[in-house]
Amino acid sequence: MRVLILAPIGRDARLLAGTLDALKIEAAIAPAPEALLSMLPQGIGAAIIAEEALTPRHIEELARWVASQPPWSDTPFIVLTSAGRPTPESHRRAQDLQALGNLTLIERPARPETIQSAVRTALRARMRQYEIRSRQEALLRANADLEQFAHSASHDLREPLRSIGIYSELLSRNFATSLDPKGGEFLGLIQSAAKRMDALLSDLLAYAHVSSFAAETLEQVHAIGPLKAALENLGGAIRESGAQIALSEMPTVRMHESHLSQVFQNLIGNAIKYRQEDDPVRIDLSASRAEGYWIFSIADNGIGIPPAHKETIFGIFKRLHTNGKYPGNGMGLAICQRIVERYGGRIWVESEPGQGSKFSFTIPE
């Protein structure tokens, strides 16, 4: 929360430091703009600068530093301007100074109370920024812990599950004749429960694995590749349901192919799974562009979703049906949401019960 002071005339800087001292605010005097620039990265509460200390080059350098701050940071600058009538020159300087972002201009001669009040306001806002930073850091840590937990839990739970799978398989292969029909039925139930749990754990692992990455380092991929991969994986369900799938032209996006393919697969898989009993399945896939994003939509003519559940269905393990009618574990949409949000997009559904659903997601261009 230290305040840096840059005022070329020694007495000015000392006067300003004295003004702050009265408020018990720690001040440091930068003898030259270069010193100010080198002190900035150490972290400051605010800077007070006498206008005449800055040449256009210094303003440019400061503006570059301002732009390089992390998203939570918006360092306050208080610039003391010269008194006198506005001139084209003073007007241009004031405009250049806007590049400092969080800027307060105070005309000299200024009363000490004016400066004190501006500094107090600046430090108060700065304190809020620090609070946001620590909350963000705590959130990131909690998120990383959760990812780690989901990863270890799903990994470790797979070991005993594998044993259950292997031994029930051996039991059914080598001892089938020793079991009466009831015993055979129970064994079948154990095997299908083990399969369901295996699918659930691999979905949990997939969820935990969608971790952070720098989207701008990604190559552009044509969406048709991941879409075809998804359709291929769903080949059995598409043939069995006789689903008619209409595709419009697809764009290129900055995404990992496997992520986009997973989103398509989950959404198209659901469009087939949640179909109406009597209607042939019809799915329309389209992509359009709006305000810096690509919007992908997957519309079906299935059973639809009641309005009260349009948001809850994206939660982990959230489902609206029992396993009997529609098998599943409630992870599909949660994985889609996590992937899409990691790329800075969002996902939502428009739907009426009995009238089909249209899932849409956005990806920045």
Catalog residues that contact ligand ADP under the rule CB under 6 A: 266, 270-271, 274, 300, 302-305, 313, 318-321, 328-334, 357
Q: What would the two tokens of residue 344 be?
A: 């800075």
- Residue 3 or 305 having the CB closest to ligand ADP: 305
CB of 333 to ligand ADP, least distance (A): 3
With CB atoms as reference, the residue minimizing the distance to ligand ADP is: 328
CB of 340 to ligand ADP, least distance (A): 13
Sheet holding 357-364, edge to edge: 244-247, 282-290, 293-300, 357-364, 347-351
CB of 309 to ligand ADP, least distance (A): 7
Find where tokens 């800027």 sit: 103
Distance between CA atoms of residues 170 and 117, nearest Å: 80
- Residue 50 or 299 having the CB closest to ligand ADP: 299
Torsion-angle region of 43 (φ positive above 0: left; ψ -120 to 50: alpha; else: beta): left
- Residue 278 or 291 having the CB closest to ligand ADP: 278
- Residue 12 or 300 having the CB closest to ligand ADP: 300
Please report, to the nearest 10 degrees, the dihedral formed by the alpha carbons of residues 104, 105, 106, 107 taken in order: -170
- Residue 207 or 343 having the CB closest to ligand ADP: 207
CB 78 within 8 A of CB 51: no
CB of 269 to ligand ADP, least distance (A): 8
Find where tokens 């909690």 sit: 142
Beta strands 103-107 and 46-50: pairing type? unpaired
CB of 332 to ligand ADP, least distance (A): 3
Distance between CA atoms of residues 245 and 232, nearest Å: 13
Whole-number CA gyration radius for the chain = 31
Distance between CA atoms of residues 341 and 360, nearest Å: 13
- Residue 122 or 283 having the CB closest to ligand ADP: 283
Beta strands in the chain (DSSP E): 3-6, 27-29, 46-50, 77-81, 103-107, 220-222, 244-247, 252-254, 282-290, 293-300, 347-351, 357-364
CB of 339 to ligand ADP, least distance (A): 13
CB of 259 to ligand ADP, least distance (A): 16
Distance between CA atoms of residues 60 and 97, nearest Å: 9
CB of 324 to ligand ADP, least distance (A): 12
Angle (CA) 79-82-83 rounded to 5° is 130
- Residue 5 or 313 having the CB closest to ligand ADP: 313
